[in-house]
Structures are given as C-alpha cells and as structure tokens.
Amino acid sequence: MPLFLLGENVEIADILIYQDNDILVVEKPVNMPSQPDKTGDEALSSFLEKNLFSSGKKAYIGIVHRLDRPVGGIMVFAKNRRAAEKLSSQMKTRQCEKYYLAVVYGEISPPTGTFEDYLLKDPHRNVSRVVEPHHPEAKKASLSYRVLAFHPEKKLTLVEVELHTGRHHQIRVQWQSRGHPLYGDQKYGRGFTRGGQRLALWSYRLSFAHPQTGEYLTFTRKPPAVYPWILFEGYFRPQG
C-alpha cells in the first residue's frame, strides 16, 4: 500500500479494506482530512460519497469517528443511518477498541504504562494542553501504551497505544507533556521536529461490533514502508 498524499490520485480500490451493506472500512490517506474543514481540501468522507459507486450515484457516508489530518490508517464509516447510530453509540461508550502505532523521541521507561491527564482545548489555536484536574473546562484523557522497540542510534521508540478516551490531539499531547513528542509532530514537537517530517502516528487496529449482526470485528493495517517506520521493520512488516 503506497503512502497517499493530498493531491495524488487515490482510487477506492487503493484504500478499501472491507465493505458490506452497513459499513465501510478504509485506510485513510495521510494528510487528507477525515471530513470537510475550513481549508476546502477534499476530505475522505466527501471522496467516498462521490466515488463509492461507479454509477456516479452519491453514497451515504456516516462519520462516526475521526483521525487528525496528518494521521493515516484505519477508519470505519456507516453506509446507512441505522448503522451510523449504532456505531456512534459504540464510539461514545468506548465499546470499540482503538490501537495506534507511534514513533516517539527518546527511550521510554517503564515499557508499559497508563497516562491519565486532564486536557484543555484552545479552539482558536487548534491545540490542547495538559492542565490541573480542577480546571472547570478540562476533560480527562486516558491511554495505555506498550513499548515495541527502541532504536538506539536514532533515539526513537516504537510504541503501541490503546486509547481509552478520544480527546483532541490526545496521543500527541500526552506524549509531548512527558518529554517524548511524536516524530514529525509539527504542532507539538518544537525542539525535536524539523520541517518536512511527517507525523509518525498510525491507526493500525480497530475493533467494534457490527451494527447489524453484532459480530465483533477486528481490522488491522500496518504503516507504509517510509521513514521512520522502516527503522522498526523487524517488529512488523510495513506495507509498500
């Protein structure tokens, strides 16, 4: 699977992982918005609406969760309103499982753990930060992590992250607040990241109950064969 960038020709067949009458599971291209935003750039949801049917008929695409623009990987969309309601309910009540791969700066100790913080979003600057728990507008953020590998020469660590909450820029903010920003994070990686580097955060595993059958489904998608993921090819086989 190539690493798609905004402006390239993306075909449905290139990003489609699974679909039936109720759900559509795709690999979101890096740097493509999940849904329309103020930039006016084509969003994944709009692309699917226009291109899912070869006949040119516009498809119903229900947005039930989102990925930040620079993040690639697995997303699920609903293909009808009933499915959208059920999937949205699962997302809100955390009945689904979301796992990410991330490359962070520095060596991480201990090798497993849980981060719990209170985050405050600044909508004007489109950033979040860790604040004291008693802040009236703060929201609790929780994730668990597991170290998969450390690259001693580059001083980079590959981690698996499970989200327990879905706060704004949560993974990026919680790691940055502990002195380990994500590789390529242009927003939170000041002092670490150089221009032109791409964010090393990937939605690689998503599990949820099918909205019609109730069957619990799991989908996985590994990162593309580009830097810095290729530093850790002994721990997964990147898709090229």
In 3D space, the residue among 75, 17, 21, 20 whose CA is nearest the CA of residue 44 turns out to be 75
Paired sense of beta strands 72-78 and 201-209, if any? parallel
* Ramachandran category for residue 6: left, alpha or beta (phi over 0 → left; psi -120 to 50 → alpha): beta
Long-range residue pairs from 231-238, CB within 8 A, at least 24 positions apart, any chain: 231/103, 231/151, 231/154, 231/156, 231/158, 232/103, 232/148, 232/149, 232/151, 232/158, 234/149, 235/148, 235/149, 235/158, 236/101
Would you say 157 and 146 are in contact if contact means Cβ atoms under 8 Å apart? no
Whether 20 is a known active-site residue: answer no
- Phi, then psi, of 225 in degrees rounded to 5: -85, 70
- Among the listed residues 14, 22, 68, 122, the single catalytic one is 68
Report the alpha-carbon distance of residue 176 to residue 189 in Å, rounded: 7
| Residue numbers annotated as active site | 68
